[in-house]
Amino acid sequence: MPPKIRFSKDDVVLAAYEVTRQKGLEAVNARSVAAQIGCSTQPLFREFSCMEDIKKEVFLHARDCFDKMTADEIKKEENTLKAQGRVYLTLAKNEPNLFRMLFMRKRNEECANFAITRACQRAAEYGQIMNVEADEASDTYINFWMFIHGMATMLATGYLTISDEMVEEVLDNLSTSRRLAFPKS
């Protein structure tokens, strides 16, 4: 009778996710994930054929967590772009390894599609809220995100350290700027 499998596919993904949170995606390997679970490396490959498959699942899990955080924040905040910016900056500040995995690495096709699809959807939503042409909405949205991404990159790399209050001040200033005047949706 074969031994009972004690660890599921989800257990492996969550362990690899935790290694990523603590040490970065580059630290995810069979030994580090197995150590996080408390098993040998063999159980990892019952569910996954290779480490790249595990890393892909970690990315998808992190993306889903980010999407949920964003959706939850949008429910609480009148200004959807401000809500999105807050989640993005908070992730960069509090979870720099996850932020780097999601937004600061060479993009494979899946990763690029995730970013491009999201940007197009958000710019279209902004255009509808503002009742402006698609080009104007896209320009404003891109300007906002270039600034936010730059700031988030500085937070995630430790180049910049700011308080939550300062994050709010930056978001308030951006949301009331003449070029980036956002409506309350």
pLDDT at res. 179: 53
pLDDT of amino acid 34: 94
Higher pLDDT, 28 or 123: 28
How long, in residues, is the chain? 185
- Higher-confidence residue of 107 and 155: namely 155
Q: How many of the other CB atoms lie within 10 Å of CB of 173? A: 10
Tell me the per-residue pLDDT of 45-56, one tens digit each, with 9 for 90 and over.
Answer: 888 999 999 999
Query: Between these two residues, 159 and 129, which has the higher pLDDT value?
Result: 159
Distance, in Å, from the CA atom of 155 to the CA atom of 174, rounded to the nearest integer, reads 18
| pLDDT at residue 126, as a whole number | 65
Does position 108 have pLDDT exceeding 70, yes or no? no
pLDDT digits (tens, 9 = 90+) for 73-107: 989 988 778 888 999 999 999 999 999 999 887 76
pLDDT higher than 70, residue 171: yes
Residue 81 and residue 43 in contact, taking contact as beta carbons nearer than 8 Å: no
> Three-state secondary structure along 90-134?
HHHHHCHHHHHHHHCCCCCHHHHHHHHHHHHHHHHHHHHHHCCCH
Question: Residue 112: its pLDDT value, please?
Answer: 58
